């Protein structure tokens, strides 16, 4: 079964607005990663946050991690039409050496 579950499944916003996506998981993790997938393409790594970190920034991206609630959020500020893509969270469990991906959030940014 999937370790991570994203919420919402789909999100449609206007250019310039902020987009927030959430990820929940079930077991203890070493780290949580966010990836982006443009239609018909491979996944691209966005950001990695370790279990002992609470927040991380990269450009217009802000990721938070709450290990007590087993949840993470990805915030994209001042969104652009080019941000339209699917966003996936992936967790690396403490018991394993591989990533488990969620089902993704489809983000549409309307110009």
Partner 1 sequence: NAGVTQTPKFQVLKTGQSMTLQCAQDMNHNSMYWYRQDPGMGLRLIYYSASEGTTDKGEVPNGYNVSRLNKREFSLRLESAAPSQTSVYFCATAWGPITYEQYFGPGTRLTVT
Query: Which residues contact partner 1 (rule: CB under 8 A)?
Result: 2, 4, 30-31, 33, 40-45, 48, 50, 88, 92, 97-104
Identify which of residues 18 and 54 has a Cβ nearer to partner 1 in the complex.
Answer: 54
How many beta carbons lie within 10 A of that of residue 8, not counting itself? Answer: 12
Nearest Cα neighbor of 73 from 34, 18, 26 is 34
The least CB distance from residue 111 to partner 1, in Å, is 25
Report the first-to-last Cα separation within the chain, whole angstroms.
Answer: 36
The least CB distance from residue 52 to partner 1, in Å, is 12
Identify which of residues 42 and 111 has a Cβ nearer to partner 1 in the complex.
Answer: 42
CA 94 to chain centre: 19
């Amino acid at each position: 079964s999937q370790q991570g579950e994203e919420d919402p499944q789909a999100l449609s916003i206007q250019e310039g607005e902020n987009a927030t996506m959430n990820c929940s998981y079930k077991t203890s993790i070493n780290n949580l990663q966010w990836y982006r997938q443009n239609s018909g393409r491979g996944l691209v790594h966005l950001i990695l946050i370790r279990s002992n970190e609470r927040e991380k920034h990269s450009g217009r991206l802000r990721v938070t991690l709450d290990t007590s609630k087993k949840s993470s959020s990805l915030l994209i500020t001042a969104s652009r039409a080019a941000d339209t893509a699917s966003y996936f969270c992936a967790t690396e469990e403490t018991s394993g050496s591989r990533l488990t991906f969620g089902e993704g959030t489809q983000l549409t940014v309307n110009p």
